Amino acid sequence: MKTRSFKKTKRIALVAHDNMKDELITWATFNKTTLKDHQLYATGTTGTLVEKALDQPVIKFLSGPLGGDQQIGASIAEGKLDVLIFFWDPMEAQPHDPDIKALLRVAATWNIPVACNRATADFIFTSPLMHQDYEAILPDYSSYTSRKI
């Protein structure tokens, strides 16, 4: 059984669609003290807004539609991110919807915590597991990678 280690200091990706950026900033500001204990990553504009609101450095990827969602997905697959907070807008079609679905699929594949709304983010951040080392069990996908074409 393979596992993935999450250290006490988590590497957290923050993403928000345009109509959800204010909600994410409000949530991040409310959780400012907790977020200071972690390393933050974000897509372009969201990262700039979070950095300003929290007065904390944020490692920024490209804007989501320009490839930032894919960069975050690749970082998850490489084991470089531990938590995904993605406030997406369920009421508005996104031109980069395939990228969004791919990002969520990668997060599920690598068994990392994902919050798509404030309530879920609150539950994740108030979990004792958020504040300690954690070993996540990785699903066994060997049957998918050993298939003959």
Q: Which CATH number covers residue 78?
A: 3.40.50.1380
87 vs 71: CA distance, rounded Å:
17
Which residues constitute the domain of residue 104? Answer: 3-145
Asked about 69 being catalytic, the answer comes back as yes
Domain count, the chain: 1
In three-state secondary structure terms, 124 is helix
Q: pLDDT by residue (tens digit) across 5-30?
A: 999 999 999 999 899 999 999 999 99
Burial class (CB in 10 A: 0-12, 13-18, 19+), 63: middle
CA 116 to chain CA mean position, Å = 9
Q: How confident is the model at residue 92 (pLDDT cuts 50, 70, 90)?
A: confident
68 vs 71: CA distance, rounded Å:
5
Q: What is the pTM of this model?
A: 0.92
Residue from 69, 97, 99, 133 carrying the catalytic annotation: 69
Bigger pLDDT: 93 or 21?
A: 21
